[in-house]
Amino acid sequence: MNAKLAIQPEARLDEISEWIEAFDQVLESEGRQGAANILAAVSRRATEAGIHLPAQLSTPYMNTIPVAEEVPYPGDLAMERRINAFVRWNAMAMVHCQNKKDAGIGGHISTYSSAVTLFEVGFNHFFRASYDDQPGDFIYFQGHASPGVYARAFLEGRLTKEHLLNFRHELRGTPGLSSYPHPWLMPGFWQFPTVSMGLAPIHAIYQARFMRYLENRNLIVKTPRKVWAFVGDGETDEPESMGSLTLASREKLDNLIFVVNCNLQRLDGPVRGNGNIIDELEAAFRGAGWNVIKVIWGCEWDPLIARDKSGLLAKRMGELVDGERQSFAIKGGAYIRKVFFGKYPELLKLVADISDDDLARMRLGGHDPQKVYNAYKRAVEHRGSPTVILARTVKGFGVGSAEARNATHQEKKLTDKDLASFRARFDIPIPEQAAHDGTPFRPSDDSPEITYLQERRRRLGGYLPSREPRPFQFEAPPLESFAEWMAGSKDRPVSTTMGFVSILRHLLKDANIGKFIVPIIPDEARTFGMEPIIRQVGIYASQGQQYEPYDKGMLLYYREEKDGQMLEEGITEAGSMGSFTAAGTAYANYHVPMIPFFSFYSMFGFQRVGDLIWALADARGKGFLLGATAGRTTLSGEGLQHQDGHSLVLATTVPTCASYDPAFVYEIAVIIQDGLQRMYREREDLFYYIALYNEGYAMPQMPDGCREGILRGIYRYRTAPDGKAAVQLFGSGPILNEALRAQDILAKKYDVRADVWSVTSYNQLRREALATERWNRLHPSEPEKRPYILTALEGAEGPIIAATDYMKIVPDQLAPWLAGRLLTLGTDGFGRSDNREFLRRHFEVSAESIVMAALSRLAREGRFDAARAQKAFQELAVSTETIDPATA
Ligand SMILES: Cc1ncc(C[n+]2csc(CCOP(=O)(O)OP(=O)(O)O)c2C)c(N)n1
Ligand SMILES: [Mg+2]
């Protein structure tokens, strides 16, 4: 019998109570562990008998930690309550004042109002800062709670009143505060950009994993430090929030603590009006192997729960949907009595001696420091898996008429009445004037509150958040050490991907920097020919290799090691970006200059994980992103979803991303060597995107004098065979070969001379030209400067035909400086499954198409016979009447 049984607790009640009694006796005599063992054995027996009980992933709607197991609060509760009141006030005041001054400037009051206790218990008792050589905790703060973090820093004396009064005014000559956590904007303060929902959770998981990686590779010492992530309950709907939970449990990341601020609301309304977000999250996290701690009810509920012998209170707590729970926070004590307790007459008796006002004041768990403290303590002490704390709070807690309302998220200003009630509710001890105006207020340095707060932080090592990059020693390998790749492949066909892999293998052996390199791969190593790297440095496996790989006898066996260097992430580009970001910011967070090289299928890069790349830039991340299998016509066979013709367009949108489209392996060597130098030696905050292709061809020797051109974006690769060129051909990536073939055809068949240029980066050329042009615009009385693109093209005449395996808009970026000379061929439109020859013909980027573009343009300029040009289309079998590939 395999059917699932429907459990009917009412059936055979007598017999069931006998079993329960027997169990109670076992519990008493054997203790909790003994009772658990017996239950597990009975459950096993039931399975053997073919009985399949429904999986039990959620527990009653109660606190996970029973009162009897709580420890007393170690701090001065009354004092901390006053400090909370000050932080609350200032967080509210900074948003309130700014919106009075500058209507519509925005900011959030409600998110932090619900999170105050969650943050403050952490600040006063748990969050460890780094001091001397002691590394601190990492905290991912809920982005919309930033006013609270600023308000605390103000009380700590790290920020001034001027800072608070310039919240969201960053461009006024006085130091302002950025809206949300942005290390780019406040590099000494924020460590982690968190405001794009879902990114903090995934980043925190991969950060905790990367911490273990560094420990297991002996690059940092092992410490009990933690990664805390404060997450909104609405935020858990983002796939990135929940998508990597099993990695955290699989890797036993007990250095990771999620705190989900369960105020049951998101921006528009309830997170699960008709359901129950806490139960849902409990089941998901528990099912994923996390330690779950629910903090639902505050201390005021304890005596009621203790007196409830009928179990009805627990039943009532669990049977509501979240839409109903929201009403209890809004409608006051009489309503709570009538609707919550009144459902069962027995429950009304429980609260008979409690006034309506007191009923309304019964706190939820997330607002009770005692409950929050105990949950944090358990989480910190827990071993073997990550912990999630599901803390029940009220959105807009204390924000007068906005509390728990659907619109509370957007509330920016309080009315006079709300201000007064806010102050009264939290008993905020501030002067009358500040209270009336709603302006920031800080007690004096020697006040008991500030003294207490400073002492707590002193004991925990200092202030948080704090981003403190330190100088580090770094020797980039000199260009000469790449001689092998400068020399060319001696006619052997090699792809730029293969060339890159061999450069990476070389770097991994480098005595100075080899150990800092982190190769990251999302299940694509074989596609890129990276198997030798698996063998060379091993795949990081925190458990080591617990099996004998079947291919152990082979040279390139699948090698996993506890101190393996490569991160084989499986099929998750988002997760790989999590690792890339952790590694690429390790120079600041761990003071170790880790150098990530993340190679991925380019089509599944920028357009899939673009927001994570943006956050990497915000975090001042470094490293190399390698968009392999690049190009809409070079990746043959795969078709529409695989062929990438636009990553370079997206790359140019990220201000700190230097992007390149190299044709030859020596160009890659030059770019990587310079990148290491700039990012790690000169400590520029930028990262690289390099397009890598899988077409093999002979790699030439590096011509003299082209290093600067490679780095700046263009150099003349082959001048016209004899005589002065009438036309200039630009090519990038493998399409450079098409330009070279076109150069031959033009010379031999049509007696037209052309120069061929390798354009390694239209993006970099445009940025430089824009910067130069801006300078010229701002300095009309000074001699004009010339953009590099014009200096490089000095003396090169005639039309310019630019051919690329990317969209036409990539070369077109230079149009403003090329005075109508530019004609672009590119791969706009959806890809197709076919081979390179047919793809290039379809997208009109073949050598023949380049020739025709040149002749056509020369004919229009009256420098080539038009009829002859028209005839040449037939000679070269270039169709003039096919459908435009851009719309095909
Ligand atoms: C990716 C993304 N989408 C949308 C938003 C806009 N947004 C900001 S806060 C918010 C609601 C947050 O709700 P929740 O996570 O429950 O946090 P709470 O404020 O309730 O604590 C939304 C939709 C965002 N910041 N990021
Ligand atoms: Mg919420």
Q: For 31-59, how does the pLDDT look when each residue is reduced to its tens digit (9 = 90+)?
A: 989 999 999 899 899 999 999 887 789 89
Ligand 1 atom at minimal distance to the Cα of residue 271: 16
Q: Return the ligand number nearest the Cα of 198.
A: 1
**Which residue among 118, 140, 144 has the greatest number of ligand 1 atoms within 8 angstroms of its CB, and so is best to mutate?**
144
**Which residue among 235, 241, 394 has the greatest number of ligand 1 atoms within 8 angstroms of its CB, and so is best to mutate?**
235
Q: Return the ligand number nearest the Cα of 106.
A: 1
* Residue type at 144 in one-letter notation: H
- How much distance in Å is there from the Cα of 113 to the middle of ligand 1? 15
- How much distance in Å is there from the Cα of 114 to the middle of ligand 2? 9
- How much distance in Å is there from the Cα of 336 to the middle of ligand 2? 22
Give exposure, 298-334, as e/b (b: 16+ Cβ within 10 Å): bbebbebbeebeeebbeebbeebebeebbebbeeebe
For residue 186, give Cα distances in angstroms to 53, 269, 575, 681, 751: 53, 32, 26, 22, 60
Q: CA nearest 293: which of 59, 33, 56?
A: 59
* Residue 480 CA to its chain's centroid (Å): 36
- How much distance in Å is there from the Cα of 266 to the middle of ligand 1? 6
- How much distance in Å is there from the Cα of 271 to the middle of ligand 2? 7
Instruction: Give the pocket of ligand 1 (CB within 6 Å).
Output: 111, 114, 142, 144, 195-198, 232-235, 261, 263, 265-267, 271, 395, 409
Report d(CA 543, CA 142) in Å as an integer.
32
Ligand 1 atom at minimal distance to the Cα of residue 611: 1
pLDDT in tens, 521-569: 999 999 999 999 999 999 999 999 999 999 999 989 999 999 999 999 9
Compute the mean pLDDT over every residue in the chain, rounded to the nearest whole number: 95
pLDDT at 10 over 80: no
Cβ atoms 398, 420 nearer than 8 A: no
The secondary structure element, H or E, covering residue 638 is none
Q: Whose CA is nearest to atom 4 of ligand 1?
A: 197
Cβ atoms 710, 760 nearer than 8 A: yes
Strands 714-718 and 697-698: unpaired
Strand partners, 540: 561
Q: Return the ligand number nearest the Cα of 111.
A: 1
Q: How confident is the model at residue 138 (pLDDT cuts 50, 70, 90)?
A: very high
Q: How confident is the model at residue 8 (pLDDT cuts 50, 70, 90)?
A: low
Q: Return the ligand number nearest the Cα of 109.
A: 1
Q: CA nearest 84: which of 363, 357, 499?
A: 363
Ligand 1 atom at minimal distance to the Cα of residue 115: 21
- How much distance in Å is there from the Cα of 109 to the middle of ligand 1? 13
- How much distance in Å is there from the Cα of 512 to the middle of ligand 1? 44
Residue 529's region, left for phi above 0, alpha for psi from -120 to 50, else beta, is left
Mean pLDDT of the 597-615 span: 98
Mean pLDDT of the 734-745 span: 98
Mean pLDDT of the 699-709 span: 98
Which pLDDT score, from 0 to 100, does residue 250 have? Answer: 98
pLDDT in tens, 321-347: 999 999 999 999 999 999 999 999 999
pLDDT in tens, 148-163: 999 999 999 999 999 9
Q: Return the ligand number nearest the Cα of 409.
A: 1
pLDDT in tens, 406-446: 898 898 988 888 888 889 989 898 888 888 888 999 999 99
pLDDT at 92 over 90: yes
For residue 369, give Cα distances in angstroms to 92, 116, 117, 320, 388: 20, 10, 6, 25, 17
Q: Which residues neighbour ligand 2 (ion) by CB within 5 Å? A: 232-234, 263, 265
pLDDT in tens, 356-379: 999 999 999 999 999 999 999 999
- How much distance in Å is there from the Cα of 110 to the middle of ligand 2? 9
Which pLDDT score, from 0 to 100, does residue 6 have? Answer: 47
Ligand 1 atom at minimal distance to the Cα of residue 195: 25
Q: Whose CA is nearest to atom 20 of ligand 1?
A: 266
What is the CB neighbour count within 10 angstroms for residue 225? 16
- How much distance in Å is there from the Cα of 266 to the middle of ligand 2? 4
Ligand 1 atom at minimal distance to the Cα of residue 199: 1
Report d(CA 414, CA 97) in Å as an integer.
10
pLDDT at 12 over 80: no
Report d(CA 124, CA 156) in Å as an integer.
12
The SS3 assignment for 389 reads: strand
Ligand 1 atom at minimal distance to the Cα of residue 198: 1
Which pLDDT score, from 0 to 100, does residue 4 have? Answer: 42
Q: Whose CA is nearest to atom 10 of ligand 1?
A: 267
Ligand 1 atom at minimal distance to the Cα of residue 393: 21
- How much distance in Å is there from the Cα of 264 to the middle of ligand 2? 5
Q: Return the ligand number nearest the Cα of 396.
A: 1
Q: Return the ligand number nearest the Cα of 145.
A: 1
Q: How confident is the model at residue 1 (pLDDT cuts 50, 70, 90)?
A: very low
Report d(CA 64, CA 158) in Å as an integer.
37
644-647 contacts at long range (C-beta below 8 A, 24 or more positions apart): 644/602, 644/603, 644/605, 645/805, 645/806, 645/807, 645/826, 645/827, 645/828, 645/829, 645/831, 646/606, 646/607, 646/806, 646/807, 647/602, 647/603, 647/605, 647/606, 647/607, 647/689, 647/691, 647/806
Mean pLDDT of the 689-708 span: 98
- How much distance in Å is there from the Cα of 367 to the middle of ligand 1? 21
pLDDT at 609 over 60: yes
- How much distance in Å is there from the Cα of 196 to the middle of ligand 1? 8
Report d(CA 397, CA 819) in Å as an integer.
61
Q: Is 435 or 141 the better-scoring residue by pLDDT?
A: 141
Which pLDDT score, from 0 to 100, does residue 722 have? Answer: 81
pLDDT at 488 over 80: yes
pLDDT at 885 over 90: yes
Structure tokens at 158: 């790290």
**Which residue among 409, 412, 612 has the greatest number of ligand 1 atoms within 8 angstroms of its CB, and so is best to mutate?**
409
Q: Return the ligand number nearest the Cα of 114.
A: 1
- How much distance in Å is there from the Cα of 218 to the middle of ligand 1? 38
Q: How confident is the model at residue 230 (pLDDT cuts 50, 70, 90)?
A: very high
Ligand 1 atom at minimal distance to the Cα of residue 108: 19
Q: How confident is the model at residue 66 (pLDDT cuts 50, 70, 90)?
A: very high
For residue 71, give Cα distances in angstroms to 64, 94, 616, 693, 831: 14, 36, 41, 61, 63
**Which residue among 197, 241, 262 has the greatest number of ligand 1 atoms within 8 angstroms of its CB, and so is best to mutate?**
197
- How much distance in Å is there from the Cα of 232 to the middle of ligand 2? 5
Ligand 1 atom at minimal distance to the Cα of residue 267: 11
Phi, psi (deg, nearest 5) at residue 236: -70, -10
Q: Return the ligand number nearest the Cα of 611.
A: 1
Q: How confident is the model at residue 836 (pLDDT cuts 50, 70, 90)?
A: very high
506-510 contacts at long range (C-beta below 8 A, 24 or more positions apart): 506/481, 506/482, 507/477, 507/672, 508/533, 508/536, 508/537, 508/565, 510/477, 510/481
**Which residue among 238, 267, 278, 322 has the greatest number of ligand 1 atoms within 8 angstroms of its CB, and so is best to mutate?**
267
- How much distance in Å is there from the Cα of 235 to the middle of ligand 1? 6
Report d(CA 600, CA 602) in Å as an integer.
6
- How much distance in Å is there from the Cα of 638 to the middle of ligand 2? 43
Phi, psi (deg, nearest 5) at residue 676: -60, -45
**Which residue among 266, 277, 612 has the greatest number of ligand 1 atoms within 8 angstroms of its CB, and so is best to mutate?**
266
Ligand 1 atom at minimal distance to the Cα of residue 395: 20
Which pLDDT score, from 0 to 100, does residue 381 have? Answer: 98
- How much distance in Å is there from the Cα of 197 to the middle of ligand 1? 6
Q: Whose CA is nearest to atom 16 of ligand 1?
A: 234
